[in-house]
Amino acid sequence: MGVELESPKEFKAVMDQVFSLMSEDPDMGPKLRDANVPQRFDFDDVDMVVNVRAGTSDEDANLHWEWSDDVDWEPKVQMKMSAEVAVRYFQGKENVPVAIARRRIKTGGDVKAALALIPITKPVYAQFRALLEDRYPHLVA
């Protein structure tokens, strides 16, 4: 089932909440911090880029992200997908290898590190879905 985003602004708001869920989750957050894999997401259809990294030792948050390429760190993994695929992906509705084969997700960099992040981020699927059902039902995949 397709999801219909109202605007790039809505997409950014939704993605900010996904990253917050992962960062603040007592299980996922520390694991993602320990994994320390900076990622760059390129949402080409809405012309938006977000760079995500682990929180540094002097930062409380487990994840830090900026909607820009003007960041002082280098991504280890790059992922390119449409905004719709991203919303589906964080609901667990896009299988990464299958999406790569179907050219719905393009990935580069240290892909082995990206593979290792998949099991860590799986708990966010249900949390994100619950959030969408509550506040953005039109985005539920």
Instruction: Choose which of 46, 100, 129, 141 interacts with another protein (CB under 8 A).
Output: 100
Record the tokens describing residue 77, joined without a space: 């993994």
Residue 104, helix vs strand vs coil:
coil
Record the tokens describing residue 36, joined without a space: 């320390």
Q: Would you say 17 or 107 has its CB closer to another protein?
A: 107
Strand partners, 39: 52, 77
Q: Would you say 39 or 78 has its CB closer to another protein?
A: 78
**Min CB(91)–another protein separation in Å:** 13
Which region, judged by CB under 8 A, interacts with another protein, from 13-21, 30-38, 82-90, 108-116? 108-116
Query: For residue 127, which of 1, 96, 64, 135 has the smallest C-alpha distance?
Result: 135
Q: Would you say 14 or 114 has its CB closer to another protein?
A: 114
**Min CB(106)–another protein separation in Å:** 7
- Please give the C-alpha separations between residue 110 and each of 67, 84, 87, 94, in angstroms, as whole numbers: 21, 24, 23, 20
Q: Which residue has the tokens 């879905």?
A: 129
Q: Would you say 17 or 95 has its CB closer to another protein?
A: 95
**Min CB(100)–another protein separation in Å:** 4
The rounded distance, in Å, linking the Cα atoms of 40 and 65 is 9
Record the tokens describing residue 67, joined without a space: 């909607």
Residues 37-66 that bind another protein (CB under 8 A): none
Residues that bind another protein (CB under 8 A): 78, 95-103, 106-108, 110-112, 114-115, 118-119, 122
